[in-house]
Structure 1
């Protein structure tokens, strides 16, 4: 048997190291060109804050800062907001702000929550016949509700709790594969921990039912729990946002396109995204630029929101745009419908200081109001992107914002930044062009 050679890049017990030890091990084995200061540079100024951040995750070695921006002038359902946005992509906050300002003089954004139902699933194998489910389901339901009465009592006082459950059969997986699909109301919390706790309690009680119920024959007592988990597919936790305006008021200053032509081109651009998945993916990514930024800023789970949104976009059998546009009686109407499972209590919403600040900035909205704010921000982002695409093109605004990133990568000084920005006003921006201009500026060839 060949002697095993120890790989110095592998380690056992890394999670037991303190932060300094984890950093040192990485520096020795993977990052020899770096030093301790490269990690420590990103430490929070407050030790108390740093401890809070470290406890959010495992094996932490540093913080990863992201810009926290604000998009002002959002009028949503008649109320004015300054919307917090956490995102690193150039031009997103600027585009949302521009769109918010545009619609602030045209009636603002409107939004309504269609439904706020969350789902959870308990999967199990059961030896009984499928046709026996109807006769046994009431007993099962009563036992499960009784077993979780203490867990659900507090949520029920807040207007939530278990809404209903359904016993489903999945013979395409296995002849003995079954599922309890459970509907929940979770009030102002996202509810993941509540849902999973209820489901796992159901699992234990279902096993007891299989052992104890007098209604079961001996050949119906075999039951195996496979898994219990919430579903991030939340089609019944959905919100709609929209704007509308007479076509004659849809002027876009500086675009060179009149209002009627702009609306015609805009409507066609949305129709393309409804029919072409290649365009729809990029179209919806733009929507999620706005929504994810709000979700992150308020301490919610953007991965769950993304997964639910894209599943919703494909619900018709083909991936399509989440937004729609129509013109009726010379009135432009643009709307967005998507699932948004958000919370304003629990999770990081209070633990992360900036998430708490964000919710204070929004004047402590409940979960449904936050759903409306996020959806309106996504629609604003979508409008801004399409407005650019069908008029001046997307690169003009994007590269203007990206210019600052280029200047940072080239280590431009503040005076160099000001002069370069002034030079490229109205000119095409590229990394190569900016580098050439900076080289000339630094060589004294530009006055």
Structure 2
């Protein structure tokens, strides 16, 4: 007997039919209304949102916040952040304000190349590659001229082609590793289109290239795809000031002692992978929030970032801290393959708003702002860790989530915040206090 929870043709249902089926088999009847609760009133807008993905039975709202006072390369930004975790926007804002009066954040785009790979089987010998590559490059580039000319007009295009042998996979396994410039677009579709065209031309080359011997004509294209590992699309952000100017707004903390403890904490994350993962997650709290707000791909950014953190064979912190001649310098280096035109950055109305808030930056400018947000978040977290501890600020923000889950009124929120000011916050403790308030009346 077929399980009624199994279904064929679900994607062909209307949205209402999908919602009804889901409610019938997996939800309570009263939950049907929850699926439509956040529908856009504008039908055209809802159509746009539905087409972002497949089988979309509901919208999933996320908070869109703003962290003001970011001074980055001499320009003041209000940084849009989409994130559900308590205290992230508040912490980034506090760090931005702190550094605003100390020179702000400085950034440098070190490189902005993206990579793609064409993998194939070939019967030729590895040593033949050097002789064949120049003519092959000329041929595949010529075959994609119509695909690349518009990107080239914007300053992008194919930068370099390397022919690599991958004997670890198989003796006949090879790849063309292609580097691209994609101007202000993220460029995934452009890169994949060019690589697939290269694959078609590679097949033709194996058939009709006069330089190939009969033994070298056996060639099979396996796959063509961009790489989300982007070690040549990297940005650096840093803050710097004399330690004597680093007064911390926490009673009794000496600036020199704070700087020493701060550097010690960063050094731990440089050497201890267990700490480094948590340390880098904090950085990505800030980075991912801006990635989401601007309609970029946070999954690609995350994958590239963690590969970059382990590039020397050991997983390390992405940020570093130095103290030279009583000058404190805190810096972050990470890969950010971003776009400010095309894709979701154009289609999502709030991504458009986010880019307007930022002043319509190009990709390089956005890389700098995003890195500054990650560094700010990292600074705020470490400042708490080496002074008051992370939970004081975090649980203050989390208290509001607890109160929401318990249906607290505005008055109850105020009374509870007063009660737990300076005290440990727990769900159990808050619930007991609310119950006592409600008994009183």
Give the structure-1-normalised TM-score: 0.98
Alpha-carbon distance in structure 1 between the residues aligned to 2:241 and 2:182? 36
Query: Take 1:22 and 1:249, find their aligned partners in 2: how far apart are those partners?
Result: 60
C-alpha distance in structure 2 between counterparts of 1:33 and 1:434, whole Å: 31
Task: Give the aligned partner of residue 79 of structure 2.
Answer: 83
> Which residue matches 2:46?
50
Q: Name the structure 2 match of 1:123.
A: 119
Greater displacement, 430-439 / 193-202: 430-439
**Shift in Å at residue 34 of structure 1?**
3.8
Number of the residue aligned with 1:245? 241
- Say yes or no: does 1:310 pair with 2:299: no
CA contact (8 A) 1:73 1:100 kept: yes
Asked if residue 356 in structure 1 is aligned to residue 352 in structure 2, the reply is yes
Which segment is superposed worse, 395-404 or 215-224?
Answer: 215-224
Which residue matches 1:14?
A: 10
- Quick one: distance in 2 between partners of 1:129 and 1:44? 59
Task: Give 3-state SS (helix, strand or coil) of 2:164's partner.
Answer: strand
Structure 2 residue aligned with 1:399, among 384, 395, 398?
395
| Contact persistence 1:255–1:391 (CA under 8 A) | no
Q: Secondary structure of the residue that 2:189 maps to in structure 1?
A: helix
Is the counterpart of residue 113 in structure 1 residue 109 in structure 2?
yes
| 1:255 positional shift | 4.2
Write the mapping of 1:122-201 to structure 2, written as runs, cut at 5 A.
Answer: 122-201=118-197
1:373 and 2:337 are equivalent in the alignment: no
- 1:334 equivalent in structure 2: 330
Q: Secondary structure at the match of 1:341?
A: coil
State how far apart, in whole Å, the 2-side matches of 1:66 and 1:195 are.
31
Match of 1:431 among 414, 427, 430: 427
CA deviations 1:21-59 (Å, max 9, x no partner) are 111111111113444311111111221211110010001
Task: Tell me how far apart the structure 2 counterparts of residues 418 and 336 of structure 1 sit (CA, whole Å).
Answer: 39
Structure-2 residue corresponding to 1:60 = 56
Per the TM alignment, residue 429 of structure 1 is displaced from its structure 2 partner at its CA by: 1.1
Q: Which runs of 5+ in 2 are unaligned?
A: none
TM-score (norm 2): 0.99
1:9, distance to aligned residue in structure 2 (A): 1.1
Match of 1:24 in 2: 20
The corresponding residue for 1:99 is 95
Instruction: Report what 2:405 is aligned to.
Output: 409
Note the alpha carbon deviations across 1:133-158, whole angstroms, 9 max, x for none.
Answer: 11111121111001100000000000
Asked whether 1:322 is paired with 2:312, we answer no
The runs of at least 4 aligned residues of structure 1 exceeding 3 Å deviation read: 32-35
Alpha-carbon distance in 2 for matches of 1:205, 1:425: 68
Name the CA distance, whole Å, in 1 between partners of 2:4 and 2:219.
Answer: 46
> Which shifted more, 41-50 or 238-247?
41-50
Report the aligned-residue RMSD. Answer: 0.9
Counterpart in the other structure of 1:285: 281
